[in-house]
Chains A and B, each alone.
With several copies, the nearest count.
Chain A
Amino acid sequence: MKILMCTDGSRFAEDAIRFSGRIARAMGWDISILYVRPRASSEHRIHLTTARKKLNEWNLDIPGVSYLKRAKEILIEIDVAKTLPAGEAESKYTFREGVYGATEIHLVGIHGENVRLRLREGETIDEILEEVRVGDYGLIVTGSRGHKGLARYFTGSTAMSIAKHAPCSVLIAKNIKGHEGFLITTDGSDMSERAAIFIAPIARALDARVTIFSVAEEGTTEDKAMERARRAEMIISQMGLTCDIKVGIGRPAEEIIEEARNHDLVVLSASGSSGVKKFFMGSVPLKVIEYGETPVLIVR
């Protein structure tokens, strides 16, 4: 399994790097950190290349590499990666035609995992999806600035687009808190079960408390919600974990957002709907991403 962590160089992204680093370390997964540098207008790109060559002549990092170096420090700090012995080349500037200085820095994790720091240039979302396609990742982690109020409506669109279009699981890491446990939601579908199976080993490895949450839209269907929760509990316990069960009554998205406040992570399954439906959806997962305050993991 490979995790792709997308950073935008901000402080919020650093929390997300720590969080995904912890998961990678606990699970022994490979991790890549990706920074996508915005592409300048075609009118200026060749001038920028000249400027970058000059920076190279002066032994200065080309823009974006500093974010990756910071990510490296964080990963070493939380013991995910070890530094290579001094003298061995650890940064390799690979050539990508037309882009001088597309970069990969390669570290080796403490258990031999591969840690790759990668720099791409272009439209953020396109490049992230392209990286996922060629790199065969199983989980994308992306930071979100965790704005409140009005600002919320104008931000988070990158995270949202990735959540919509990614072919794999996506974790939107915002407002990362301490150790208050994971909230696994279930709607009784196969996808929900897969979500439980996906998250259980991670919860065990991170030693996180697990709560299963099921929402009944009306009071009359509370029994069914409870039944769904029980089935999820069964799966979790088969994987060697104990967990609490909780049932909420009301509109699913709101209930989940409310309940999630006291948890580290809320786990949702992507609705298994078709492309057309996905296009028009104001689905539960997306609402939780948009209005919730907790990190969200959408399992695919």
Chain B
Amino acid sequence: MHYIFQIIKRNRWIFIGLMVGGLLLYMPTPEGLSIMGMRAIVIMVVSIIFFIAEPLPLPGVALLIAVSEVISGIAGPTETARSFMSDSVFFIMGSLMIAAAIVKQKMDKRIALYLLRLTGSGVGRITFGLVAVSALVSSFIGQHTVAAMMLPVGMTLINMISEDTSKKRNLSALILLSIAYGALIGSNGTPSSGASNAIMLNFWKEMFDVRIGYLKWMAYSFPLILFQVPIFAWILLRTFRPEVSEIPRSVEKLKERIRKEGDMTPNEYWVIGILLFTVFLWVALGDRIGLGITSFIGVSLYLMTGLVRWEDLNNGINWGIILIYASTISLGLNIKDTGAGEWMAKSFLELISPLGIDSGIPLLAAISILTIILASVISSGAVVGLLGPIVLNMAQITDKSILAAGFVTAISSSFAYMAVAASPACNIVYSSGYLKTSDFLRGGWKMIIVSILLLLLIASTYWRIIGI
């Protein structure tokens, strides 16, 4: 009796999710929506409930999405399996593997040394440097890798400042948030910086046969980063006024300690070399043979040279996250195929048309805010996977550029600056124990407002000039 009650209690969200789903299925299908479309929407709603409440590990939700797509009759088992895989999923997989190969080397120590050589011991310069370097590196190998690599740098600096924790509260928050926000800023820099980018590329291609190259993506996204880096550093410095403005002793000690490790090893040169070669291939061949296939060339090189062992990849990669993204892509495409995306797009537009924000820049703002809200509770890749088809349908209906709408969604999905649990970068720095949840709130809301404004500014000027 007690045992059963325990099971029900632990799994209450599963029952709630299933009840919501059942209720929706029981309701009459709205006009303009096919039965299959309704079922796709139900799967989406229940999945979002499960993603937020996490009554079972999220990769399990991915499996359940596959199961329900088949059981609901939206697609057969083979088509469902196929829809889980595309060059974008290969690309997510390959990028994670490359990141795992890099994180294995001691590149973090090199980066820390070069960074501190450039910045010196001023806290302002260090903050700027941390934001900039995190953003730059995360642009290529993803926020989770950068956060994991830079966290020890930040913590070592903090540890060396003073024994007394109360004397460095702000400084600690400043340094760690610089890393987290820097990593988040960079996570839309290139297609390889995050799964949400790959997923958006996938939708463009599958829904409209529009292909965006590696360089073209950078041309659209990098200007925002260039603005964000200095502004974020400035906001952080104003929000968390550091207790001291110079930390020469800590910086010297850290540099000393790194120098002891000796020069760069041949292995480290190889790691960087292969990374650069892979980026070159992405730029040169990505359009023709696919970014995913290209990334596999890089991974094969890492494996051939023995710079990474298969075990490192097997255990260092979150295969579950690949499953999650694959499932949201599959669900997103089904939402599109069943017409549910168009219906939801229309309904949403009808809903917001009285507010006068159903076109142009206001629409983009609405999309951005919707994305940010969702991205604060579930992971950015899943947000893009679920919202993507709806947003692109909205753009199509309103004759807005699908590129602009897509970029706004993909980029906004990393604006989860207030939420600890939503992004790997925030999660990793929070796990250090130096930060409180409130620190993310204190700085985060400013970052979000600034980022939205910057994004809309760029969308209404620069993007128009270069023509999207």
The answer to A–B direct touch (Cβ < 8 A) is yes
Is the CB–CB distance between B424 and A47 below 8 Å? Answer: yes
Is the CB–CB distance between B433 and A43 below 8 Å? Answer: no
Is the CB–CB distance between B311 and A45 below 8 Å? Answer: yes
Is the CB–CB distance between B320 and A97 below 8 Å? Answer: no
Interface membership of B316, Cβ < 8 A: yes
Q: How far is the CA of A40 from the CA of B311 in the complex (A)?
A: 12
Tell which of A47, A54, A57, A66 touches B427, judged by Cβ atoms closer than 8 Å: A47
Interface membership of A188, Cβ < 8 A: no
Q: How far is the CA of A63 from the CA of B155 in the complex (A)?
A: 11
Is the CB–CB distance between B144 and A50 below 8 Å? Answer: yes
> Using Cβ atoms and an 8 Å threshold, which residues of chain B touch A45?
310-311
> Using Cβ atoms and an 8 Å threshold, which residues of chain A touch B424?
44, 47
Q: How far is the CA of A66 from the CA of B155 in the complex (A)?
A: 13
Q: Mark A98-109, 1 if CB is under 8 A from B, else 0.
A: 110000000000
Q: Mark A49-61, 1 if CB is under 8 A from B, else 0.
A: 0110011011010
Tell which of A9, A40, A41, A55 touches B152, judged by Cβ atoms closer than 8 Å: A55
Interface membership of B253, Cβ < 8 A: no
Is the CB–CB distance between B57 and A63 below 8 Å? Answer: no
Is the CB–CB distance between B159 and A41 below 8 Å? Answer: no
Near A by CB (< 8 A), chain B positions 310-324 give 310-312, 314-318, 320-321, 324
Is the CB–CB distance between A58 and B144 below 8 Å? Answer: no
> Using Cβ atoms and an 8 Å threshold, which residues of chain A touch B311?
42, 45-46, 97-99
> Using Cβ atoms and an 8 Å threshold, which residues of chain B touch A54?
103, 108, 148-149, 151-152
Interface membership of B20, Cβ < 8 A: no
Interface membership of B147, Cβ < 8 A: yes
Give the size of the chain B interface in residues (CB under 8 angstroms).
39
Query: B396 → chain A, closest Cβ, in Å?
Result: 31
Near A by CB (< 8 A), chain B positions 103-162 give 103, 106, 108, 144-145, 147-149, 151-152, 155-156, 159
Interface membership of A205, Cβ < 8 A: no
Tell which of B100, B151, B324, B432 touches A43, judged by Cβ atoms closer than 8 Å: B324
Is the CB–CB distance between B431 and A40 below 8 Å? Answer: yes
Q: How far is the CA of A48 from the CA of B433 in the complex (A)?
A: 13
Q: Mark B443-459, 1 if CB is under 8 A from A, else 0.
A: 00000000000000000
> Using Cβ atoms and an 8 Å threshold, which residues of chain B touch A99?
311
> Using Cβ atoms and an 8 Å threshold, which residues of chain A touch B145?
50
Tell which of A63, A97, A279 touches B431, judged by Cβ atoms closer than 8 Å: A63
Query: B294 → chain A, closest Cβ, in Å?
Result: 23
**Contacts from B to A (Cβ < 8 Å):** 2, 54, 57-59, 100, 103, 106, 108, 144-145, 147-149, 151-152, 155-156, 159, 309-312, 314-318, 320-321, 324, 379, 421, 424, 427-428, 431-433
- Jot down 6 A-B pairs with beta carbons below 8 A, ordered by A: A40-B427, A44-B424, A45-B311, A46-B318, A51-B151, A57-B152
